[in-house]
Amino acid sequence: MSQVAGTEYAEPESAASQLGDDEFAALKREVTEWVTGPGEDFAERIEADGALPPELFGELRDRGYLSLAAPERLGGRGIPFPQYLELMEIFSRSHASIRMLVHVINGTWRAMDPYMTEEQRAEFVVPSVTGRKLVAFTLTEATGGTGADIHTTVRREGDTYLLNGEKHLITFGVKCDWWLLAARLEGSSGKHGVVALMVPNTGLPGAEVIDDSETMGVHGTDHAILRFHDTPVPVANRVGEEDQGLEVMLGGFLLPSRVSVAMSCIGLAERAQELAVQYAQRRETFGKKLAERQAVQFLLAENFADIRAARALVLEAARAYENDDPEAGVLSSASKMVAVDMLTRVTDKALQIHGGQGYWKRNPIERVYRDARAQRFEEGTNEIQKLVVGRAVLTGQV
């Protein structure tokens, strides 16, 4: 046990609680059957309507797919991180918005739980884990996004913080129940004075929500621009202590989330490769299947090797996080850096194998290609990841 935010906190369950081989294999088969069956039906509806079907969230919740990773004490299944990532790999072969729901809800509890009182856990964490409430991670700003450079501020007046500033690119920020939001105390700068707050999306005074969901890919997922002007937030909604905000937002969520996004790159690349293989085996040119042509075989071979190499690094990063390895942070950045670049290469080659056909929306590879571009900036651009890794190498941290 450890003391965090003035309350006794049970450390997350260890990898020793992982599912047995047979049980885990059965769960992977179940998820695969859902992704390739009902999941594909939902994907077609999302692309046709540009919105998530109302019943999708409930189906994911009722199947337990939103509570895979959280410990049992919070209402989750307690699946260890490396095993959970293998499930994320499968979900990522589906529509990007389905993956996004599973990814976000299976991750935000990690930021909230260690820093909350028992009362806060009951109010915020358990409803999120069990799929009764949706929490949106709210860090990025138009002029700041790495954490220490945020400009949104709060000032305390008695038992209330008054919130001022703007956030953007906030996934699920329109329809969520709570924003897990980072702001800084007025007058503070850099890494100091940042606080994390649970801000209710209930039409608070001075809060403006702008739907900014028209995106190139990841259709259906809502995104918000949020503006606050002296918006009142109870001090009781603070997560952790003042000055712990970056710790909550970066270490609690972003570190494992980067690894999860890296694994989502693996799953989406595998889907692109699958589509390329299927097309190559049925498409004929000049009396020959594309699959018989050496140039196409080379592209598929390169994709295979690229995917497997990136997957190995992602699983290494997952084990490092699960085991509290000192290299977990740099490995999370390295895994995302490598996986994102891999996904770019694989989807481009998969689209090329489709030729002109792949450019038309009637072919699934077109959606895969669009959705893959989002991973290039999700949870930090590759330029940021390279800075993290490069500094670790130069300072002897790895």
Q: Which residues are catalytic?
A: 379
- What is the Cα Rg of the chain in Å? 21
Helix (H, G, I), strand (E, B) or coil at 117: coil
User: How is residue 113 written in tokens?
Assistant: 């739980």
Tell me the C-alpha distance between 169 and 175, whole Å. 14
For β-strands 2-4 and 160-171, DSSP reports them as unpaired
CA distance 394 to 52: 45
Q: Which residues contact 350 (CB under 8 A, 6 or more apart)?
A: 272, 273, 275, 276, 303, 358, 365, 368, 369
Phi and psi of 144, rounded to 5°?
A: -170, 135
Residue type, 226: L
Residue 313 and residue 339 in contact, taking contact as beta carbons nearer than 8 Å: yes
* Owner of token pair 């039409």: 203
Token code pair at residue 162: 């008054």
* CB neighbour class for 340 (10 Å; exposed up to 12, middle 13-18, buried from 19): buried
Q: Return d(Cα 72, Cα 146) in angstroms, integer.
A: 32
Q: Residue-wise over 245-281: b if at least 16 C-beta within 10 A, else e?
A: bbbbbbbbbbbbbbbbbbbbbbbbbbbbbebbbebbe
- Of 387, 396, 385, 383, residue with least CA distance to 326: 396
